[in-house]
């Protein structure tokens, strides 16, 4: 019999910092929007991650539906609010891992996975028992419980973590955009746990290129009119972690084509987010990174804010032997 439930029906969910206590397997939805079913919106190769992640044919990316953070500017709004996706079993998820490997994936990239970790752990164990050998990546908003990171550390080889907001701004930016005034404290403790679990960056050779197999990549996305906050974030990260982690400074912020396409249509109230960042803003951030000594980091060239970074969440690769279109 295939297993679809996330948790035993009597268990309350405390996997993320929201700690909502929802009885998800009994049908109650958590703050993240997820109930008891494992829900995936897309499983396909992705070529646009950092170079040591998207090596060979690309990263085998599995996009999970729903999200605990729910940022108003979310570029994956269709899956963050659960509109896109299909309910699948643990066994099907394990099969997806093998199918992505057969397509040439360099790794398995689990996007926003923490609210499904009990099921993901089962799928990972099943795959490993059948000889699966690709690294697993946790691709996260950074808004995580350190206890959840430690509990499921055996499933994860590489952490690809956002770090969105600086401490002096959490009561404004983090609360205003993500309803998470406690974002910074949770993100720091989670990142500390990730570094402790994954260790310093380590590589092997895959398809003739360098592949990251252990370690932490910290991503920061520059938002319009938030250059000073971004500088504060880089300063904090560099002085706390130094070369123990890799850094990725991103310029790809993309406002939706129409404001109604944003999460719950709520971008209408945030005029500062209704434009892309300028080349000058991004150049100033890179100059600041150089100034503080962060000389080795990933950066984006040209017009990174383009459609190719945001895939279609049409069920590709989710259902067996077919391309699902909703």
184-218 confidence digits (pLDDT tens)? 999 999 999 999 999 999 999 999 999 999 999 99
Nearest-angstrom CA–CA distance, 174 and 100: 35
Residue 165: closest CA among 248, 265, 232, 252: 232
Nearest-angstrom CA–CA distance, 174 and 169: 7
| Model confidence at 321: pLDDT above 70 | no
The pLDDT value recorded for residue 297 is 98
Nearest-angstrom CA–CA distance, 284 and 143: 27
Nearest-angstrom CA–CA distance, 230 and 274: 18
Average pLDDT for the chain: 91
Which range (77-86, 152-161, 252-261, 279-288) has the least confidence?
Answer: 252-261
Burial 310-323 (b: 16+ CB within 10 A, else e): bbebbbbbbeeeee
Average pLDDT over residues 271-297: 95
Average pLDDT over residues 303-312: 64
Q: Which residues have CB under 8 Å from 268's CB, separation 6+?
A: 259, 262
Q: Residue 156: is it exposed, middle or buried by C-beta count within 10 angstroms (0-12/13-18/19+)?
A: buried
Average pLDDT over residues 279-297: 97
Domain covering 24-298 assigned CATH 3.20.20.70 in the classification: yes
The pLDDT value recorded for residue 4 is 62
71 marked ligand binding residue: yes
**Higher pLDDT residue, 143 or 77?**
143
The pLDDT value recorded for residue 254 is 87
Domain ranges of the chain: 24-298
Residue 225 gets the label, from left (phi > 0), alpha (psi -120 to 50) or beta, of left
The pLDDT value recorded for residue 306 is 56
Average pLDDT over residues 61-90: 91
Complete DSSP assignment for 51-99 = TTTS-TT-EEEEEES--SS--TT-TTHHHHTTSS-EEE-HHHHHHHHHH
The angle subtended at Cα 47 by Cα 136 and Cα 236, nearest 5°, is 65
**CB-based contact 309:49 (threshold 8 Å):** no
The pLDDT value recorded for residue 304 is 58
Nearest-angstrom CA–CA distance, 91 and 72: 34
The pLDDT value recorded for residue 264 is 53
Whole-model pTM above 0.85? yes
pLDDT bucket at 324, cuts 50 / 70 / 90: very low
| Model confidence at 258: pLDDT above 80 | no
88 CA to centre of own chain: 20
| Model confidence at 154: pLDDT above 80 | yes
């Amino acid at each position: 019999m295939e297993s679809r439930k996330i948790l035993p029906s009597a268990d309350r969910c405390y996997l993320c910092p929201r700690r909502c206590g929802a009885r998800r397997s009994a049908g109650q939805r958590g703050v993240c929007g997820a109930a008891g079913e494992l829900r995936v919106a897309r499983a396909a190769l992705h070529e646009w991650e950092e170079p040591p992640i998207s090596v060979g044919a690309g990263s085998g990316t599995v996009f999970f539906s729903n999200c605990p953070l729910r940022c108003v500017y979310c570029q994956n709004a269709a899956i963050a609010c659960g509109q896109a996706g299909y309910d699948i079993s643990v066994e099907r998820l394990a099969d997806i891992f093998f199918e992505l490997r057969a397509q040439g994936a360099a790794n398995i990239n689990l996007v926003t996975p923490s609210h499904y970790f009990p099921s993901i752990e089962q799928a990972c164990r099943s795959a490993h028992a059948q000889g699966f050998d690709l690294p697993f990546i946790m691709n996260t908003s950074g808004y995580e419980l350190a206890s959840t990171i430690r509990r499921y550390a055996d499933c994860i080889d590489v952490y690809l973590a956002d770090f969105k907001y600086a401490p002096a701004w959490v009561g404004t930016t983090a609360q205003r955009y993500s309803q998470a005034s406690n974002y910074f404290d949770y993100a720091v403790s989670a990142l500390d746990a990730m570094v402790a679990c994954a260790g310093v960056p380590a590589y092997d050779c895959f398809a003739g290129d360098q592949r990251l197999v252990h370690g932490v990549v910290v991503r920061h996305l520059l938002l319009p009119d938030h250059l000073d906050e971004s500088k504060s974030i880089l300063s904090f990260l560099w002085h706390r972690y130094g070369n123990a982690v890799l850094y990725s400074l991103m310029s790809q912020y993309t406002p939706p084509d129409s404001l109604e396409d944003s999460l719950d249509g709520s971008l209408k109230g945030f005029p500062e987010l209704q434009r892309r960042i300028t080349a000058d803003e991004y150049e100033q951030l890179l100059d600041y990174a150089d100034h503080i000594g962060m000389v080795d980091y990933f950066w984006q060239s040209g017009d990174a804010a383009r459609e190719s970074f945001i895939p279609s969440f049409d069920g590709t690769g989710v259902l067996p032997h077919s391309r699902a279109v909703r």
